[in-house]
Amino acid sequence: MLVIPVKDGENIDRALKRFKRKFLKTGTLLQIRARKQYIKKSERLRVRKQKAVYSQNILRDLD
């Protein structure tokens, strides 16, 4: 559970912005989206490998 203390005289928009930033850092939304649909372990590994190859190709092209 996220707790965002609002200081005296603090604008509510600023507190909301802090909440959104903290919410994104925890990765809660990503977990919720991932749990919506079951993905087999082999498929997850295949996607991770594809992403690794892609990022390696990008880095190699930059050099």
pLDDT digits (tens, 9 = 90+) for 5-41: 998 999 999 999 999 999 999 999 999 998 999 999 9
Is residue 3 one of the residues assigned to a domain?
A: no
Q: Which domain holds residue 25?
A: 12-62
The answer to whether residue 63 scores a pLDDT higher than 90 is no
Count of domains for the chain: 1
Is residue 45 one of the residues assigned to a domain?
A: yes
CB of 28 closer than 8 Å to CB of 7: no
pLDDT at 2: 85
Is residue 49 one of the residues assigned to a domain?
A: yes
pLDDT at 1: 81
Is residue 50 one of the residues assigned to a domain?
A: yes
